[in-house]
């Protein structure tokens, strides 16, 4: 059948999930004519699993996406129905914002943003093949035989690629949420020699809210003070919807154990590897046999639907078993399931086949992002989509790639982990993965990344000026607090009230704020010359002062880390010529072609001894040149 050229673009994005949306918006905002294709326009920014954005570690990613000019933070601020700051009992490094979304509105608002974006076309169409010429990606072919050509292609296929649904013994081809899968593209990607693999994820049932008994559950309200995701928003006021907490019990576990043999997970039908940190309920009952209960949250899916998401209860058991075990749970005795739980298996690429700019190693100008790269989660996907979009534009313009290292952003940790270390299961970001998390806090993402974003042309002038103003205000206020001295007579009554040790001599407000009992707000009683600060600025000021010593130590660690990162390696370097390198190290280094000695040190199979050999070799080369 004849093919027809339907258009030419700078960048084509395949898939309009959370990765695809950020990739397309970044490309278009950087001035490139961009096309984003979705197998179904109902899949644009679809929340196929949990109706929420953020969470531990993930909230950091959303703040970084926002600081870099991405859309996720802005969109959830428009559409959230509950907001909560997690881990507030711990230090600020692990504070993480999480918001329940009205999932339909989230989709609608993101779709509207794509439709209104200059330089961007959104179209429904199933991509079945790539156009590869001279080892370069030059466009895509649709199922209708329409052809669109481009200078770069970004694959962000999510869980659609050769998607297969499992509900007990029932197995059928499908994308998430009952949408059609993309089968032909998966076969054709293998044809090009891309190292494909099968991963699995799952989602719980959705129940009708009016069929639940909330008197048997514990209410989980949102925070009284709403903290926005986007640095563009200072104050958000909204009537929030509660979530609800309940637990499984021995009866629940007994029903599940009796039906292990009917689970697709244990029956052997599922080939793909599932996420370790988000197991199905049958996997939890099997692995944690000593636990008498597992918690689950009942979360509303939106304001215009009565569907409730049963978080913590994903499953691939048959529908009749689902009905049985859900009804053993307090508050769910009479539940009506409107969408059964299921597991979904899909194709993704081995991320070790990617460069740090998310370009494929074997096919030039082909960029990859999101769950296609072996990650899990909306936030991880969006972060990669943003970076892939940026780097596709930079590649077209023959500019250096935009790469964030592990000391600069959680995004840097995420991408470095995927493409340098690889993953054998759906990858999830966590605060524990970041070595420099005291510096990479969610509250300072704008201070870390806005300037970089403005240089790329993503952050608007007004956002940049707002950032500079906040930075200046914080610096001026720190200076004022350092200079402002108070006498014991002025401060001791307040210190006594706060349960803090009184002072004998004059002391600066800066020194006082380093005390755990003293906050910027509490000093208001004796400090009448303070300026009016935004919530963002006040939070930033407080953290910088209270954790100054710890932050300083971590910055010294980062300097040592940077020494290896700054030792760049040539991509054409032949490691077989380095005497003293072990055979495995030579093979791995020649395969991955690391861009720096730091990245080389994180490659599996390259030991510290190999790095020392490389250091000596590089020093010899430097002396020889000089």
How many residues would you count in the chain?
Answer: 626
Q: Say if residue 280 carries a ligand binding annotation.
A: yes
Exposure string over 561-580, b if 16+ CB within 10 A, otherwise e: beebbebebeeebebeebee
Q: Say if residue 15 carries a ligand binding annotation.
A: yes
Q: Say if residue 20 carries a ligand binding annotation.
A: yes
Q: Say if residue 288 carries a ligand binding annotation.
A: yes
Angle subtended at Cα 414 by Cα 408 and Cα 419, rounded to the nearest 5 degrees: 110
d(CA 586, CA 581): 6
Q: Say if residue 282 carries a ligand binding annotation.
A: yes
Q: Say if residue 283 carries a ligand binding annotation.
A: yes
Q: Say if residue 491 carries a ligand binding annotation.
A: no
Classify 347 as helix, strand or coil.
Answer: strand
Distance between start and end Cα atoms, the chain: 62
Q: Say if residue 115 carries a ligand binding annotation.
A: no
Q: Say if residue 182 carries a ligand binding annotation.
A: yes
CA dist 126 to 85, 225, 319, 368, 384, Å? 39, 44, 31, 17, 22
Nearest CA to 446 out of 424, 422, 471, 423 is that of 471
Q: Say if residue 240 carries a ligand binding annotation.
A: no
The answer to whether residues 373 and 354 touch, using CB atoms and an 8 Å cutoff, is yes
Q: Say if residue 297 carries a ligand binding annotation.
A: no
CA dist 353 to 134, 219, 440, Å? 19, 46, 27
Q: Say if residue 69 carries a ligand binding annotation.
A: no
Q: Say if residue 571 carries a ligand binding annotation.
A: no
The answer to whether residues 111 and 45 touch, using CB atoms and an 8 Å cutoff, is yes
Q: Say if residue 286 carries a ligand binding annotation.
A: yes
Q: Say if residue 371 carries a ligand binding annotation.
A: yes
The answer to whether residues 332 and 338 touch, using CB atoms and an 8 Å cutoff, is no
Q: Say if residue 49 carries a ligand binding annotation.
A: no
Q: Say if residue 281 carries a ligand binding annotation.
A: yes
Q: Say if residue 139 carries a ligand binding annotation.
A: no
CA dist 110 to 25, 104, 241, 453, 500, Å? 10, 10, 22, 21, 49
d(CA 543, CA 92): 7
Q: Say if residue 276 carries a ligand binding annotation.
A: yes
Provide the H-helix boundaries in 515-607: 535-546, 548-565, 583-592, 597-601
| Residues in the annotated binding site | 15-20, 127, 182, 274-288, 371
| Residues in the annotated binding site for FAD | 15-20, 127, 182, 371
| Residues in the annotated binding site for NAD(+) | 274-288
């Amino acid at each position: 059948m004849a093919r027809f050229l339907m258009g030419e673009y700078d960048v084509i994005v395949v898939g309009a999930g959370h990765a695809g949306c950020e990739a397309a918006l970044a490309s278009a905002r950087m001035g490139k004519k961009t096309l984003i294709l979705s197998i179904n326009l109902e899949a644009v920014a679809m929340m196929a699993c949990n109706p929420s954005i953020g969470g531990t570690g993930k909230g950091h990613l959303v703040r970084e996406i926002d600081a870099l000019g991405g859309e996720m933070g802005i969109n959830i601020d428009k559409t959230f129905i509950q907001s909560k700051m997690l881990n507030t009992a711990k230090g600020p490094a692990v504070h993480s914002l999480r918001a329940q979304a009205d999932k339909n509105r989230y989709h609608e608002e993101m779709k509207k943003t794509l439709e209104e974006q200059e330089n961007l076309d959104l179209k429904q169409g199933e991509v079945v093949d790539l156009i590869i010429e001279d080892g370069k990606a030059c466009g895509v072919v649709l199922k209708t035989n329409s052809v669109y050509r481009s200078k770069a292609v970004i694959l962000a296929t999510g869980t659609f690629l050769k998607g297969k649904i499992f509900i007990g013994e029932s197995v059928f081809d499908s994308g998430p949420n009952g949408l059609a899968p993309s089968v032909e593209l998966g076969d054709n990607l293998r044809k090009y020699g891309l190292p494909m693999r099968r991963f699995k994820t799952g989602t719980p049932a959705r129940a009708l809210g009016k069929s639940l008994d909330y008197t048997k559950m514990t209410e989980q309200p949102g925070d009284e003070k709403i903290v926005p995701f986007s640095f563009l928003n200072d104050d958000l006021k909204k009537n929030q919807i509660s979530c609800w907490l309940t637990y499984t019990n021995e009866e629940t576990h007994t029903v599940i154990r009796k039906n292990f043999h009917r689970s697709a997970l244990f029956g052997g039908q599922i080939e793909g590897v599932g996420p370790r940190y988000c197991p199905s309920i049958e996997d939890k009952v099997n692995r944690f046999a000593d636990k008498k209960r597992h918690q689950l949250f009942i979360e509303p899916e939106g304001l215009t639907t009565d569907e409730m998401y049963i978080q913590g209860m994903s499953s691939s058991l048959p529908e009749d078993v689902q009905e049985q075990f859900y009804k053993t749970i307090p508050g769910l005795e009479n539940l009506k399931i409107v969408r059964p739980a299921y597991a979904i298996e899909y194709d993704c690429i081995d991320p070790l086949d990617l460069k740090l700019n998310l370009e494929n190693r074997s096919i030039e100008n082909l960029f990859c992002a999101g769950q296609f790269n072996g990650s899990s989660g909306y936030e991880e996907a969006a972060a990669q989509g943003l970076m892939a979009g940026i780097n596709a534009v930079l590649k077209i313009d023959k500019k250096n790639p935009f790469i964030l290292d592990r000391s600069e952003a959680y995004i840097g940790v995420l991408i470095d982990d995927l493409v340098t270390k690889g993953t054998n299961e759906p990858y999830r970001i966590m605060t524990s993965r970041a070595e420099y998390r005291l510096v990479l806090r969610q509250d300072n993402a704008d201070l870390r990344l806005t300037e970089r974003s403005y240089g790329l042309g993503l952050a608007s002038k007004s956002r940049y000026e707002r950032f500079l103003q906040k930075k200046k205000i914080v610096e001026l206020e720190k200076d004022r607090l350092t200079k402002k001295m108070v006498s014991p007579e002025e401060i001791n009554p307040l210190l006594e009230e706060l349960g803090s040790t009184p002072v004998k001599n004059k002391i600066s407000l800066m020194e006082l704020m380093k005390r755990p009992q003293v906050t910027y707000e509490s000093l208001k009683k004796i400090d009448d010359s303070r300026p009016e600060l935004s919530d963002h600025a006040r939070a930033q000021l407080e953290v910088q002062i209270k954790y100054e010593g710890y932050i300083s130590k971590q910055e010294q660690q980062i300097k040592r880390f940077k020494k290896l990162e700054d030792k760049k390696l040539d991509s054409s370097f032949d490691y077989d010529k380095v005497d003293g390198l072990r055979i495995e190290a030579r093979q791995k280094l020649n395969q991955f072609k690391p861009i720096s000695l730091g990245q080389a040190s994180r490659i599996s199979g390259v030991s510290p001894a190999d790095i020392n050999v490389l250091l000596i070799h590089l020093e010899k080369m430097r002396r020889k040149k000089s």
